[in-house]
Amino acid sequence: MPNLSTPRRTVLAAALALTVTFAPPLVEACTRLVYHGVADQIVTARSMDWKTDVGTNLWVFPRGMQRNGEAGPNSINWTSRYGSVIASGYDISTTDGLNEAGLSASVLWLVESSYPEHDSGKPGLTIAAWAQYVLDNFATVAEAVAYLSTEPFTLVSDNVPGEDRLATLHLAMSDATGDSAIIEYIDGKQVIHHGRQYQVMTNSPTFDKQLAMEEYWKDIGGTIVLPGTNRAADRFARASFYVNAVPKTDDPLETIASVFSVIRNVSVPYGLTTPDQPNISSTRWRTVTDHKRKRYFFESALTPNTFWVDLDKLDLSEQTGKVMKLDLGANQKNIYSGMANDAFRESAPFRFLGI
């Protein structure tokens, strides 16, 4: 280890203690980060880490789709204003995606989540459609935050498919300006963190405590030492340092390569098991979103190629746009390369899991 002065050793010890304190015993290990580059290059990346196949496929949704909140008789209804490309979970939910206005949305696991009771006087929205609601309705983070802060619906959760536990998630949004927001439900109340400075989000702990960790690690500096485990707190520290440490260039290829290198750095090796932490999860796939060029990159842990979807070359119109599906296969083993727009096939839309 590098030679550290006594004050820096003290700060390091505190940071390590903080990391251990905030690391939860049960971990579903996803990471999301936003890169602020030069020449208006804003890029968002996320990893999907889960202990079993999450049944992901890519979908194209055009404008004008009629949606239902799938929360029983009193469900919110809407018509999609924007087309989008999304990555599904089990083909019953939207886990990640980008819309044609350049807004991205991602949901990650947060075990501390606690949602309000379903108010019969307020329409409900299934948590499976939370990210899609944002992609369908808003062009910017500021627009989404302004509306969602009024709490126009009650978020309703249900059990994870095949498991006896509720889906407990928090939502991250970013847009082409570099704006960012994190929305959580803690003790039944909505909490919103809004600003460009909120570049990184992992799982537990709650986001306010993740920010406290960031302050500790800023005092140390990532060139001295960074935590290396696959715990959420350690991944947060690494992502926060590297997303701003990688060189910034106006070359789009180098920009995408840099962001992929950061999200790979905080991924969990495939098939990894940790005896005392049975819920540590392997990285199943990664996405990188180029907000400026409207390109949505996808990389499976089990295939040799990275491919992308170009939203500017899709028909997302209400009149002629079609729902399209890219079949990724079991464990996302199907191989695609380059721009994959032509590999999508028209399909009936999936139905969001509700109650």
How far apart CA 217 and CA 8 sit, in angstroms, is 11
Residue 255 pLDDT > 70: yes
How far apart CA 193 and CA 195 sit, in angstroms, is 7
How does pLDDT run across 78-121, given as a tens digit for each residue? Answer: 999 999 999 999 999 999 999 999 999 999 988 788 898 887 68
The closest of 31, 98, 106, 21 to 59, measured between CA atoms, is 98
- Asked whether the CA dihedral 206, 186, 27, 291 is positive or negative, the reply is negative
pLDDT of 4 reads 39
The top-scoring range by mean pLDDT among 5-19, 65-79, 277-291 is: 65-79
Residue 12 pLDDT > 70: no
Residue 274 pLDDT > 50: yes
Residue 353's Cβ-count burial label (10 Å; 0-12, 13-18, 19+) is buried
State pTM to two decimals: 0.87
How far apart CA 282 and CA 301 sit, in angstroms, is 9
How far apart CA 63 and CA 30 sit, in angstroms, is 29
Q: Compare 278 and 287 and report the one with higher pLDDT.
A: 287
Arithmetic mean of pLDDT, 53-57: 96
Is 30 marked active-site? yes
Annotated catalytic residue, options 30, 144, 155, 263:
30
pLDDT of 205 reads 66
Residue 316 pLDDT > 80: yes
pLDDT grade, residue 213 (50/70/90)?
low
How far apart CA 83 and CA 243 sit, in angstroms, is 29
SS3 271: coil
pLDDT of 110 reads 85
* % of the chain surpassing 70 pLDDT: 81
Arithmetic mean of pLDDT, 1-17: 38
Residue 188 pLDDT > 70: yes
